[in-house]
Structure 1
Amino acid sequence: MLRSTTKLTSNVLRTTAARLQSTLVIADSNDERLLPITLNTITAAKQIGHPITCLVAGTKVGPAVETLSKVDGVQKILTVENEALKGLLPEVMTNIVLDAQKKFNFSHIISGASSVGKNLIPRVAALLDVSPISEIIGVKDAETFVRTIYAGNALQTIKALDKIKVITVRGTSFEAIEVGNGSAASEALDTNVSVPDNVEFINQELTKSERPELTSANRVISGGRGMKSGDNFKMLYDLADKLNAAVGASRAAVDAGFVPNDLQVGQTGKIVAPELYVAVGISGAIQHLAGMKDSKTIVAINKDPEAPIFQVADLGLVADLFNAIPEINEKIDKHISN
C-alpha cells in the first residue's frame, strides 16, 4: 500500500513538473510593426511543445501586440512600454527578461538570431548561469536541438541539460507562423526599466529602401567581386526592381567598398533562404555559401566555369556578367512591354 501511494505521489509530481514547462519568446519589433523573424521564432517554439508567452518591449508596443494576439499558439503577451527602451539596449532588456523569468519561471527563453537576440541572449544566459545555444535550425524535442558548425558544412545535435534553455533561432530555417487564428491576452509586466549610467542610446541610422528587406525577401540578387565597382551594381538594382527582389553582396564586394555592409550575405553577414537566389560574379567562397545555400533555387552567373558557386547552383550560366545582366534586363523589359 505504501509503495502504491509513493508511486502515485511520484506520478503527480512528474505531471505537475510537466505543466510548469513553458516558453518565453522575446519579440523583435519596432514602433511600427512586429519584425518577421519573430513569427519564425514562434514556429520553433511551437515545436518544443510547451505553452508560449511572448515578451514585447519598446517605446510603442501596440502594433506588435496586435499582431501577436492573433497568432495561434501564443497564450499570453507580456508588455513593457517605456521611453528608456529606445534602441532596445541589451543592458536594459536583460533586466526585463530576468524579471519575467523570476515571476513565471520559464523552462525555455528564445529569441530570433537578429541583432537584438544576438546581443541579449548571451547576457541572459550568463546571468542565469546556463549555456546559450545559438542559431538553432531544428528542434528534435524540448531538450535536443540542431545547429550548424564549420560554416554550415556540418550539423551538430545538442542535448541541453540546463534547467533553463536559452536559445537563438535562425529564422530562415523555420517557416513563419500564420497570423489570424489566435486570441492571446496581454498584460503589463511589473518591472523596473532603467538605463545604466555607463550606457546611452544616441542614434541609429537605418537604410531605407523600397525593395524587400534582405533577410525576408522571396528573391535576392547578390553581386560579388566580379562586379568590379559600386557603380556597376546599378545593373543589379535595375534587375532587382523588375523582379521585386532584394539586393545582397558577398563579403569581397563589401570589403572592396562597392556596397555598404548591411547588404553582406554570408557567415559574417546575413543569412538568407529565399525562393530564388541569383549570384552574380560571386565565386562561391565557403563563408558566402553558409549564408545562402538553403535558398530554394540558386542561379549562378560567372565567367569562370570552375567557380565553386556552380557546385551548389541549380542553374548556372557561364558568361561575362557585363553582357549577361544587361541582356536579361532587356529581355524582361520586352516581356513586360508585350
Structure 2
Amino acid sequence: MSVTILKDKCRGCRLCLKACPFDAIKMEDGKAVINYDKCTNCGACEASCRFESILVEREEKKTGIDLSAYKGVWVFAEQRLGKLMFTSLELLGEGRKLADKLGVELSAVLLGYEVDGICEELIHFGADRVIYANHRLLQNYTTDGYTKVIADLINEKRPEAMIVGATNIGRDLAPRIAARLNTGLTADCTKLDIDEEQRILLQTRPAFGGNIMATIVTPKHRPQMATVRPGVMKKLEMDKSRKGIVESVKVKLNEDDIRVNVEEVVKSAKQIVNLIEAQYIVSGGRGLGNPEGFKLIKELADALGGVVGSSRAAVDAGWISHDHQVGQTGKTVRPKVYIACGISGAIQHLAGMQSSDCIIAINKNPDAPIFSVADYGIVGDLYKVVPMLIEEVKKLKEQN
C-alpha cells in the first residue's frame, strides 16, 4: 500500500497535516508532501482531503483459501456427563434452516467418552450426520483437548460454517478454535441467516448496549463461526423416524496435548434456576420495592409450575442472585408465558424476553416501555394484582 499526493489537485489547505497522526506530511512550495519514513499508510490523510488530491493504493490481502472447497454446516453438540445440553437442540433447529438454505448437509460434532446414546438423539432433532469423537481424554471438557480435536476435524473435512452455544464451555472453546484456524468469530449472536447469492453467513448481535443490531460477515475466511445465546433459537420437534449417519472418527490425542488435568467434577450444592427450558417465568424488577417482594413472585411462579426471573436492577440491588437475571447481560428466554412484575422494560431486558409466546406486564406506570411488547398489560399495583392471579390459577387447577 502506498500514498500519493496529486500536486495538480492539492490546494495547500493543510487539512491532511492536521489529520496525520504520525506527523508524516509537510508543506513544500504550498503543496503537501509525504515523508515516507514516517508514513504508516493509515489512510487518515485521504479521508481528510476535500479535493481528492490524495490516493491510497491498497493491496488486497490474499488469504490463499479456496472458499469453494468448504461445504456443510456444523453444530457443536455440547454434552456434560453424558447428557446433551438443551442449547445444542436449539442450535440444531437453527442449523437445519441454514443448511437447507445452502443446500448442504447438517452435521453435529459430538466429543466425549462412551456417549453413543446421544448420537441417535442428535439425528432425531435434525442432524444429517453425527461426527463422533470417542476418547477417554474427552470424557471431561478441557480447552486444549476439545480445541485440538475440533480444529483437526475442521482442517480435514472443511465445513463452511460452525455454530456453538454461548454457554460457559462454548465461550471458552469457540475463540480458541477460531484463533487456531485464523478465522473470524461473532460472539453472542441473536439471529443467523444466509446470503444465498454469496453463500455468506449473516451473523447478527446486539451492539452499543443493545441500542442497535449489527450484522457481521466473514467473507474471506472459513469456517464462518458464531456463538449463539441460549434460549434465542427454537428447537425442532423430535422426529424418531429421521435417519442419519453416525461417523466415528479416529482421535489423535494424548496426555501431552492437554495442559490441565481434571481431577474431579463437583456439582454445585446450590440449585441453579433453569430459565432456558422453563415454560412459565414470573419476573420481578425494581418496582417490587424490596427483596421481600420476590416471595410473592415465587408464589405465583410455583402456582404456574414455573420459575422466578428478574431484571438486572433487582440483581444489582442484591435482592436476588444473578442466575435469575433475564436480559442482555443475563439469560435469553422464550417461555410460553412471561409475566413481568414491576419491570419498566429497558431495552436490555426486552432483548432477553421479547420472543416469549405470551407476555403479561404488570406496572403502575401506563407509559412503561414493557407495555410495547406485552400481549396483555395490567396497569396497577402488583401487590394487589399478583395475589388475584395466584388465587385464579389455584382455582383453575382445582377445577382440572
* Cα separation, partners in 2 of 1:252 and 1:54, compared to 1, 3 Å: same
Q: Supply the distance in 1 between the matched residues of 2:317 and 2:194 (Cα, whole angstroms).
A: 41
* Cα separation, partners in 2 of 1:207 and 1:79, compared to 1, 3 Å: farther
* Cα separation, partners in 2 of 1:72 and 1:284, compared to 1, 3 Å: closer
Asked whether 1:164 is paired with 2:223, we answer yes
Paired amino acid for 1:70: H
Paired amino acid for 1:163: R
Q: In the alignment, is the contact (CA less than 8 A) between 1:144 and 1:157 conserved in 2?
A: no
Q: Supply the distance in 2 between the matched residues of 1:271 and 1:238 (Cα, whole angstroms).
A: 23
The Cα shift of 1:229 comes to 3.8
Asked whether 1:139 is paired with 2:193, we answer yes
Asked whether 1:292 is paired with 2:345, we answer no
Q: Supply the distance in 2 between the matched residues of 1:193 and 1:243 (Cα, whole angstroms).
A: 50
The residue that corresponds to 2:155 in the other structure is 102
TM-score by length of 1: 0.83
| Equivalent position SS for 1:215 | coil
The Cα shift of 1:301 comes to 0.9
Match of 2:246 among 178, 182, 185: 185
Paired amino acid for 1:145: L
Q: Supply the distance in 2 between the matched residues of 1:66 and 1:245 (Cα, whole angstroms).
A: 30
Q: Supply the distance in 2 between the matched residues of 1:272 and 1:127 (Cα, whole angstroms).
A: 32
Q: In the alignment, is the contact (CA less than 8 A) between 1:138 and 1:173 conserved in 2?
A: no
* Aligned residue pair count: 320
Counterparts in 2 of 1:244-283, with a 5 A limit? 244-283=305-344
Range that drifts further, 75-84 or 111-120 = 75-84
| Equivalent position SS for 2:131 | strand
RMSD of aligned alpha carbons:
2.7
Q: Supply the distance in 2 between the matched residues of 1:66 and 1:318 (Cα, whole angstroms).
A: 49
* Cα separation, partners in 2 of 1:303 and 1:201, compared to 1, 3 Å: farther
The Cα shift of 1:263 comes to 1.1
| Equivalent position SS for 1:272 | coil
The residue that corresponds to 2:142 in the other structure is 89
Q: Supply the distance in 1 between the matched residues of 2:381 and 2:110 (Cα, whole angstroms).
A: 49
Q: In the alignment, is the contact (CA less than 8 A) between 2:70 and 2:222 conserved in 1?
A: no
Residues 199-228 of structure 1, C-alpha deviation per residue, up to 9 Å, x if partnerless? 75764527537x8x3112232211112234
Paired amino acid for 1:205: S
Q: Supply the distance in 1 between the matched residues of 2:293 and 2:177 (Cα, whole angstroms).
A: 44
Which structure carries more relative contact order (alpha carbon 8 Å, separation 6+)?
1
Q: In the alignment, is the contact (CA less than 8 A) between 1:25 and 1:55 conserved in 2?
A: yes
Q: In the alignment, is the contact (CA less than 8 A) between 2:110 and 2:130 conserved in 1?
A: no
| Equivalent position SS for 1:42 | helix
- Percent of residue pairs bearing the same amino acid type: 31
* Cα separation, partners in 2 of 1:157 and 1:201, compared to 1, 3 Å: farther
The Cα shift of 1:250 comes to 0.9
| Equivalent position SS for 1:147 | strand
Q: In the alignment, is the contact (CA less than 8 A) between 1:100 and 1:189 conserved in 2?
A: no
The Cα shift of 1:264 comes to 0.9
| Equivalent position SS for 2:308 | strand
TM-score by length of 2: 0.72
The residue that corresponds to 2:87 in the other structure is 37
The Cα shift of 1:288 comes to 1.3
Q: In the alignment, is the contact (CA less than 8 A) between 1:34 and 1:63 conserved in 2?
A: no
Q: In the alignment, is the contact (CA less than 8 A) between 1:31 and 1:63 conserved in 2?
A: no
Match of 2:368 among 307, 321, 330: 307
Q: Radius of gyration: which is bigger?
A: 2
Q: In the alignment, is the contact (CA less than 8 A) between 2:76 and 2:162 conserved in 1?
A: yes
Q: In the alignment, is the contact (CA less than 8 A) between 1:249 and 1:264 conserved in 2?
A: yes
Range that drifts further, 53-62 or 216-225 = 53-62
Asked whether 1:23 is paired with 2:82, we answer no
* Cα separation, partners in 2 of 1:67 and 1:84, compared to 1, 3 Å: closer
Paired amino acid for 2:91: T
Range that drifts further, 194-203 or 161-170 = 194-203
Range that drifts further, 214-223 or 181-190 = 181-190
The Cα shift of 1:247 comes to 1.9
The Cα shift of 1:269 comes to 0.8
Range that drifts further, 197-206 or 175-184 = 197-206
Q: Supply the distance in 1 between the matched residues of 2:352 and 2:269 (Cα, whole angstroms).
A: 22
Q: Supply the distance in 2 between the matched residues of 1:64 and 1:206 (Cα, whole angstroms).
A: 26
Range that drifts further, 53-62 or 109-118 = 53-62
Q: Supply the distance in 2 between the matched residues of 1:62 and 1:236 (Cα, whole angstroms).
A: 42
Q: Supply the distance in 1 between the matched residues of 2:308 and 2:245 (Cα, whole angstroms).
A: 36
Asked whether 1:127 is paired with 2:180, we answer yes
The Cα shift of 1:37 comes to 1.6
Show structure 2 runs of 5+ residues with no match: 1-65
Q: Supply the distance in 1 between the matched residues of 2:330 and 2:177 (Cα, whole angstroms).
A: 24
Q: In the alignment, is the contact (CA less than 8 A) between 1:85 and 1:92 conserved in 2?
A: no
Residues 102-129 of structure 1, C-alpha deviation per residue, up to 9 Å, x if partnerless? 3322222221222222221111111111
Residues 86-145 of structure 1, C-alpha deviation per residue, up to 9 Å, x if partnerless? 2x2334321221122233222222212222222211111111111102215131244131
Quick check: which one's helix share is greater? 1
The Cα shift of 1:60 comes to 5.1
The residue that corresponds to 1:53 in the other structure is 107
